[in-house]
Structure 1
Amino acid sequence: MLSLGDSQSAGVLRHFSREEVVAISQAMARLSNVKQPMVLEAISRFFSDYKQQSSIRGASRSYLEGMLGKALGSDITRTLLDSIYGEEIRARMVRMEWIDPKQFAALIAKEHAQMQAVFLAFLPPALASEVLEHMPGWRQDELLFRIANLSEINGDVIHELDQLIERSLSVLSSQGSQVRGVKQAADIMNRFKGDRAQMFELLRGHDAQLVERIESEMYDFFILSRQAPDTLQALLEVIPLADWVVALKGAEPELVRAIQGALPRRQMQQMDSLTRRQGPVPLSRIEQVRKDIMAVVREMAADGTLQIQLFQEQTVE
């Protein structure tokens, strides 16, 4: 009410009962030192509640911009509307977060690069990263550059993004959505604090092959990049250096650095020598060696000789 000003507030107050007018007036009189973020939060919450309870679809951005501009000023109005519409877009994007990243990339493949960048900017970072990996290699750095340069998104772009989401949902409703169920189940099991062995036994009663697929997803080769040095050193003692040379071909730099960082200097020199002597290796051979290494990891983790961190945990200083 204070944000609206006396004339608009008076018009609103006429529709309250005497007791309500007294209560609101007392609350207004007690307010002091109200910061702008508090104003934005209160008005944003008001519009959210209004939208849920009203049968009216909602005012357009241009209408709200004109009305609120008169009451709050242009700067506050712009911040408020960006917050309202940005959160609305994110809420709608939540409906799409279970889509396979490859399918996501296909949905936005024909859009302009700037719209693709805006689309990725509204996704959770982990999902956006996976979608980016499925975009053409020659465009990935451009998209990341555009995302990094985003600061303020105007109403027209938000409207276009909203239409893109609508088109995507329409395509998904007609063609169906690819959901990475096995990957999701593996991620859940990686975080499961109960008896995993018992859970897997129960799952095997349903489908033994499915359990194998879940376990393979849980023990992806890349998880070695997040292991402690002593864990990696224990693996380096039981797995031949020649196997590591093959397995690390084409691996992510983060993983290569983690393995090499755990090697003593003498073994590091041996690995460099083996790498220089080794020529091209078939991809099937690399994948098989990685599977063999992860089979050892799973066996050592199962008998308790190795402590494996299966997912990236947040840390606190």
Structure 2
Amino acid sequence: MAGMQSPAVVLSSIERAAITLLSMGEEAAAAVLRCLSREELLDVTLVMARMSGVKLDAVQHTLSGFFDAFREQSGVRGASRQFLQRSLDMALGSVVAKNVLSHIYGDVIGPKLARLQWAQPRWLAECLAREHVRMQAMFLSLLPPEQASQVLHALPADSRDLVLLQIAKLKEIDYELLHDLEAVVDACIENLGKQGTAVEGVRQAADIINRLPGDRARVVELLRAHDPDVVSEVESRIYDFPILAYQNDATVAAILDRVPFEQWGIALKGADPKIRDALARAMPSRQVQAFDDILRRTPATPLSRIEEARNDIMAQLREMSAEGEIALQLLAEDVV
């Protein structure tokens, strides 16, 4: 009927958020999305993707509410960290001020860490591998437990217990250390875009090839004709160090004849214990003790040296496989 008002617009909070983001432009919306958790990001982007035919009064009602809230909250700009530190030092003393700042900026790191929820655990572990154990513990303590456990599992095996112990001892994070932790988080975020499709695409291609029936070597050679550089990366994933755990005793014995014990001492640092067990099973019993002694005597070794030793061993394996000396099993399920 003429003169009747249209019914009030009823939108959920997630729909209001989606409308606001769609109205503010790509750059501003991206800045807001970076501050959301993984779950919030998925929820709001799903609504944004499905949204169509929104009536004008719904948009006006949503934006009007947004700017009303903005005016209420934006009378004073936020203080910088330096301003807060100087002010709190004068008001409360440096010790209390540090505790207050640690609490405040702990909340600041949270949204930054939320952006790393999309990172692969192994990549995050590589970012942390060169940090001190205490820094690793602080970083993991602020991640969601499921993600933290995956990253911890990807760290070198001989350091996991120390990291867990440091996590258990944490009660609070000192302000200065929090500042250092934020720098580590920022460095991870800065490099986040570099760890996406290239690394995982290579791994995915290698996993697919590993599962192909028939002559996998022929498939690799056909691919090499198209792009030898990429195929070289894929091959390094196909013949990855962990496949040593899948080999039968005859294959492992042939490998042991080729690779000196001292090189194993370096290559097995931080490796899956199943690899050491596979090697020990293929040795004469008199050699097992000598092998274990070498592993224990090998000192702490830089990651670059460990990777170099592993790559050298795998290069020899590939050569032996190409010459028909051994038949490598590439997957655990291939062994019956």
Using structure 1 for the length normalisation, give the TM-score.
0.44
Using structure 2 for the length normalisation, give the TM-score.
0.42
